């Protein structure tokens, strides 16, 4: 039975993942891990605020959400 084009792509992807697993990354320091968690939390919060902002129609609520978004963006800049 002939193998499809898609299965070759899947095999290639699996081989690439196996190669990535073989090359260990250096472990991040506890401080760096904490920073990464904080950054990820801010990114999740930013996504949540953006979704609320898209759905909000009340001007006062939109203003509060825009302020929250600006604050999150300021915090994210400190991680770069």
pLDDT higher for 78 or 8?
78
**26-66, pLDDT tens digit by residue?**
778 889 999 999 999 999 999 999 999 999 999 999 999 99
| Cβ-proximal residues to 22 (8 Å cutoff; 6+ apart), any chain | none
Domain range list for the chain? 39-80
Q: What is the separation, in whole angstroms, between the first and last Cα of the chain? A: 52
User: pTM (2 decimals)?
Assistant: 0.64
Closest CA to 79 of 45, 37, 46: 37
What six digits make up the tokens of 49? 């605020």
């Amino acid at each position: 039975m002939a193998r499809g084009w898609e299965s070759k792509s899947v095999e290639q992807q699996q081989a690439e993942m196996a190669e990535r697993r073989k090359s260990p990354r250096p472990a991040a320091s506890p401080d760096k891990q904490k920073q990464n968690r904080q950054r990820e939390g801010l990114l999740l919060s930013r996504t949540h605020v953006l979704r609320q902002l898209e759905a909000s129609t009340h001007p006062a609520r939109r203003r509060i959400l825009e302020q929250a978004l600006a604050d999150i963006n300021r915090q994210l800049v400190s991680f770069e």
